[in-house]
A and B are shown apart, each in its own frame.
Chain A
Amino acid sequence: MTLSLSDPAWYPIASSDDLPFRHVYQGQLLGRELAVWRADDGNVNVWENRCLHRGVRLSIGINEGAELKCQYHGWRYANRSAGCTYIPAHPADAPARRIQNKIYPVAEAFGLVWSAAQDSDNIERPFAPFPGAESGQWFPLRPMPVNAAPEDVLAGLATLAPDDRPADSLPGLALRLGDVVYFVQPVDAGRAVIRGLLPSTPADATQALRHYNEMLSKLRDRLERAAAKKPAPEPLAPAFDKVSADLATMPDIAIPRGNTIPVVVKRKWTSADGVIGFELAAREGHLPTFQPGAHIDVHLPNGLIRQYSITNGPGELMSYIIGVKQESASKGGSKVLVETVRQGDMLAISEPRNNFPLRRDATRTVLIAGGIGITPLLSMARFLDKSSLPYELHYFTRACEQVAFRGDLEALHGTVLIHTGLPRAEIGTTISTALGAWSQAQHVYVCGPSAMLESVRTTAAAQGWPDEAIHFEYFKNDKPIDDSSAFDVELARSAMTLHVPAGKTILEVMRDAGLTVPSSCEQGACGTCLTTVIEGEVDHQDVYLNDSEKAANTCMMTCVSRAKSARLVLDI
């Protein structure tokens, strides 16, 4: 039997005990090096052992519990998806969601961790227990690495059988000697690991482990002496995939409404007075990577699309948890979710988008939430918490009963201050005290009702906080939109000029002309339709850009903003 790089069979690659929490195990299967780590939720990750950035081995990286951090430039990759969640060299930006490391399928069974050289998105041969597996309470032996060809190691194991009771062959590189099962992990053409399983925990475990260890050590020495006399086999040469084209080149403009993901409402509950929690789970496997501050579009049964922030902590990809405000005056968005969507229902959501990215290089991070605005800030607090970074979370609600996600907040280790029922004036002074004076590398993140955002933004500015240190996310744009102007837009890349009449938006005019342009909230709050302005003076009407960004006149939101000049030139 010769080893094949494309052998899709499952092989053990580690013992379960090899993967304590906060450790990264270095493994190898069929010539491919693996970084293997257990997240704090118990999930085992088997990834290609190289960082997408500079190719450094991830096995020397840091297992932070929910993210793996590369030792070289600190790129973080999420538990389960291996999607990149943070790039320290670009602390203010959300990494592109296509940055995702190569992952291998994984199964944990019989005290061993198994993997296979298969595409983890498209597993052609799912993990199946070895014949007779169900009859034992398996107890793994100390693994025995051997510098010899895997097939020779298997043959060597067979020679351990007494003459009157030969070894039973098992599928793949495995055999049974009496009631002990041995697997040979094909590390490379000339390297293998013997992984044995006893059918039950022996009475004197240490003595038994010593006994088998001694026996296998002798076999190893014999096999290695024999291997040394033969020419060393050529190591397997796995082809390392080039970084995918959509990562290495400028991607096309993403169409956020194009790709939707079906999810199941796994749980729906009243998180607080007026706040309904929804747990949205993938139908199979895990959901895409998200970063703190990210939101998803939820496609509602009545055709409306609404944005909700993800509250999850790092690496929690089995389901997204969102909080929905029960609004009496709602025009049918949240109302439909709250009133008609039930546990077990299917919904479509978008991939997560992040217009509210969290820096992880601040010396002080202040998180300020008002009402349902707690949702993105809860996620941020959880990320900071996991990395033991300092933060202060201020959460304002009108009444005690309106404090959502209380249990989750209590589980945090940072400074969490809940302010309930403060009169308006006192809210102002509390915000002012919470902010304090600004100094280098301090950042504030705020989400909540418009009045509160305005208050935080003006207070912070008055106390010396620069625009780039004030991060905010509006739920909606409350400002009245003045669409009375009429002007021309010249689309530089598309080489066309369109007339925008009063009463129509730039976005609508572009769509009418057959262009596909991304958008989401269409009220100037979410930032999806952000467009570069080449020439002309913009009449900003959104709440997404801050004042300095607006004054710079280099970009605009085409869903609500218009032109003060007769002509605008856009980079579309």
Chain B
Amino acid sequence: MTITLHDFELSGNCYKLRLLMSILQLRYDIVPVDFFPGREHKSDAFLRLNPFGQLPVLQDGDLTLSDSGAILAYLARRYDASGQWFPDDPAVTAEVLRWHAVADDITATASAARLALGFDYPFDLEKTQAGAHRIFRIIDEHLWFGEKSGRDWLASPAHPTTADIACFPYVMLSEEGGISRQDYPALRRWTDRVRRIPGFIVMSGIFPAGPALPAA
């Protein structure tokens, strides 16, 4: 079976899937979609794949899937033998899905601000920026108290989950939407940790972190 990702290189939502597939060491093909300026995701051919006209779309054999959070869950359930990325436990599943929803809120705010500034989208810049800051404040507080109690990741397990993958890209790209992360030190430290996950890959605007301090 072949996995095909309908992808736009500068899309954080597409990058979420490239990132998880890199971590899970999956092979896949890419079909580039000219999201900007071509608006190919609104073309007839693409709407047949996803009537909502949104990237990314992932095809696995006969299966056609859309929505980055849903696809993250699918890839983890289907291909992650360790079961760590989308855990089976009902409470943890709910927790992870809660963060997938936060990720969508980040897309609606931080990513929208980036589209307004960099891609000529007619969004209300001030409103989307304020919305992103509101969410980042809450995540920073969550992560800060997490650090104090020994939790490094968004969800409670002692390892990263798709919750982290889903929220990471548009946090890292926020400055392209004029949203500084200076006031969120715990959020910034968490981005270091995500960037140190084995198999991590970059995209334009997302830089690598150096290696962590080797254990003494």
Contact = CB atoms under 8 A, between A and B. Distances in A.
Contact of A69 (B148, B180, B210): B210
Interface in A26-84: 26-28, 33, 40, 60, 62-65, 69, 71
A205 interface: yes
Contacts of A193: 183
B207 interface: yes
B79 interface: no
Contacts, number: 52
B188 A26 contact: yes
A419 B99 CA distance: 58
B189 A23 contact: yes
Contacts of A60: 207
Given A23-B192, A26-B188, A145-B183, A64 B210 contact: yes
Interface in B68-107: none
Interface in B165-202: 180-183, 185, 188-189, 192
A209 B210 contact: no
Contact of B211 (A206, A209, A388): A388
Contacts of A213: 141, 145
Interface size class of A (residues with CB under 8 A): 20 to 34
A33 B149 CA distance: 30
B15 interface: no
Contacts of A65: 213
Contacts of A143: 185
A193 B184 CA distance: 11
B212 interface: yes
A275 interface: no
Contacts of B182: 26-28, 33
A142 B144 contact: yes
A22 B185 contact: no
B148 A209 contact: yes
Contacts of A14: 185
Contacts of A27: 182
Interface string A194-216: 00000000000110011001000
Interface string A210-225: 1001000000000000
B133 to A, nearest CB: 9
Nearest to A413: B214
Contacts of A63: 210
Given A22-B192, A213-B141, 14 more contacts: A18-B189, A21-B212, A22-B211, A23-B189, A25-B188, A26-B181, A27-B182, A28-B182, A63-B210, A64-B210, A71-B207, A143-B185, A145-B183, A206-B145
Interface of A: 14, 17-18, 20-23, 25-28, 33, 40, 60, 62-65, 69, 71, 142-143, 145, 193, 205-206, 209-210, 213, 388
22 contacts: A14-B185, A17-B147, A22-B210, A22-B212, A25-B185, A26-B180, A26-B181, A26-B188, A33-B182, A62-B208, A62-B209, A62-B210, A64-B210, A65-B213, A142-B144, A142-B145, A193-B183, A206-B148, A206-B149, A209-B148, A210-B145, A213-B145
